[in-house]
Structure 1
Amino acid sequence: MNKILVVDDDANIRRLVGTILNDAGFDVCEAAEGRDALIKLDDNKIDLCVVDIMMPNMDGLDFCRNARKYYKDMPILMLTAKSEIGSKIESYGSGADDYLTKPFEAEELLLRIRALLKRYKIVSQQTIAIGALNVDSNSYTVSVGGERLSIPLREFELLFKLGSFPGKTLSRNQLIEEIWGIDFDGNERTLDVHVGRLRDRFPSERFGFQILTIRSLGYRLEVIS
């Protein structure tokens, strides 16, 4: 049973979300603000967090930034009344995986949570399929139809990261920090160049996936049916 941490300073929202998740078969624990939530992460095996932005002491954005230092792949869904595009950009930049505004439908909340957990399961695997490609992070190899393809290390890491979250937008800052490191002081265009090389190396009509540029946010890999 997956355990979900609900972080919101509104007790009514915590109760509502908790009831929805319990009825759907999830185990739930609660926190009223970010600092308490970080303690709960240390004390429990949490599979996913549902987090409000506006909270006292430590808000949802700061919680995301702190949680990402130690729980890099744990899914985080922002559930907030803030619907402005700026809030969404800031949330994704702080490490959130998805964003849902209040008021919300129970069915949509559950759909998004299940989708995030599915992606998390893919990430925990060492070998993933991306369209026609098989990508193995143990041996750092990429193959198609049994034929091994040569690919530089940074391109491999970028491909594996994007391919681990199909359909999810990853922010530019997140990709740069996780692949080149938080202390990277090179040109921001480095990321764009590597994405361009992956597009040239793996044309969508042959390999069954494409890397999309999401304006003002980052990049998203989509598998073509």
Structure 2
Amino acid sequence: MENPLVKVLVVDDDPALRQLLADYLNRHNYDTLLAPDASDLAGRIQRYSPDLIVLDRMMPDGDGAEACRKLRQQGEDIPVILLTARDETVDRVIGLEAGADDYLGKPFDPRELLARIEAVLRRKRGASALNKDKPVAFGPFVFDPATRQLYRGEEIIKLTGGEVNLLEALVSNPGKPLSRDRLLALARDDDEGERNDRAIDIAILRLRRAIEDDPKQPRWIQTVWGVGYRFSP
């Protein structure tokens, strides 16, 4: 299976710059999404599930650093690179204290932004790899990514390969809504054939039957209406 393109959400009020970055990043195999302001940033994250955000610091509807701070307060750990026309030390400190992963002053060469995006994503992947094989406990269950087994006490809960992939995707992103498209990319199992939205819903139902006291009122795997699903430990 071909790896899905990395999604980058570019949030900037300058339409020419947005389009320039979209064209450049798309040529370098990124799936670029565009937004003119920071309003409903959390909503856009839920809808599009971007892997990284390029966020302008100063926009008509508010401060990008403050928008980043709110995301972090909400528990959202998606990488953020702040852009600003004010390339001063104090502004860099404000941005980093707000939870930004990097900071780039305008004007800039798109090649530098691309290099910073790739560096931030490498750090993110490296941090994720440190916890990749760490068992995840929730309620009476333990999911072990290393063995790809779900345990309830000493009992092994039988799951298909695709269901294990789906559970791993969910528990690896606790509290983060994942769209069906995102789950399709993360949970597809070649041994089970092509997946679609309906297959994801069926796999979710099976997982709920395996781990929920009441699958109709799920505690662990919750539906996020209009988006997809979320693991809530």
In the superposition, the TM-score normalised over structure 2's length comes to 0.53
Gaps of 5+ in 2: 137-233
1:7 counterpart = 2:30: no
Counting only pairs closer than 5 Å after superposition, residues 124-203 of structure 1 correspond to structure 2 as 124-127=128-131, 138=135
Determine if contact 2:65/2:82 at 8 Å carries over to the other structure: no
Who is 1:50 aligned against? 54
Who is 1:25 aligned against? 29
Code of the aligned partner of 1:96:
A
Who is 1:100 aligned against? 104
In the superposition, the TM-score normalised over structure 1's length comes to 0.54
1:65 counterpart = 2:79: no
Gaps of 5+ in 1: 129-135, 140-225
Partner secondary structure for residue 21 of structure 1: helix
Q: Distance in 2 between matches of 1:65 and 1:49?
A: 13
Select which of 68, 72, 82 maps to 1:78.
Answer: 82
Partner secondary structure for residue 46 of structure 1: coil
Q: Distance in 2 between matches of 1:33 and 1:92?
A: 20
Q: CA deviation at 1:97?
A: 0.7
Partner secondary structure for residue 34 of structure 1: coil
Code of the aligned partner of 2:11:
V
Which has the higher Rg, Structure 1 or Structure 2?
Answer: 2
Code of the aligned partner of 2:52:
L
Distance 1:77 1:29, change over 3 A: same
Q: CA RMSD in A?
A: 2.0
Determine if contact 1:2/1:26 at 8 Å carries over to the other structure: yes
1:111 counterpart = 2:124: no
Who is 1:218 aligned against? none
Select which of 120, 128, 132 maps to 2:124.
Answer: 120
Q: CA deviation at 1:137?
A: 5.7
TM superposition outliers: structure 1 runs of 4+ over 4 Å: 136-139
Q: Report the identity percentage.
A: 39
